[in-house]
């Protein structure tokens, strides 16, 4: 999976990641934690 390094891509990244995590069988609580962590990492990357 590849996405351009643009802040506008965060929503598509989250959508794709959520789908993948669901297919992996993670519970909703864990999925939310992963999505928050990835969102924070992407946000941090775009601020530097």
Q: Which long-range contacts (CB under 8 A, 24 or more apart) does 35-44 make?
A: 38/13, 38/14, 39/10, 39/14, 42/7, 42/10, 42/13, 43/7, 43/10
pLDDT score, position 47: 58
Per-residue pLDDT of the chain (48 residues; tens, 9 = 90+): 788 878 788 899 899 999 999 999 999 999 999 999 988 888 776 555
| Contact of 21 with 31, CB cutoff 8 Å | yes
Torsion angle defined by CA atoms of residues 48, 34, 17 and 23, in that order, rounded to the nearest 10 degrees: 170
Query: Domain map of the chain by residue range?
Result: 9-47
């Amino acid at each position: 999976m590849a996405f351009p390094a643009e802040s506008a891509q965060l929503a598509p990244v989250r959508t794709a990641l959520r789908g993948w995590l669901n297919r992996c069988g993670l519970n909703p609580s864990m999925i939310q934690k992963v999505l928050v962590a990835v969102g924070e990492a992407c946000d941090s990357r775009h601020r530097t």
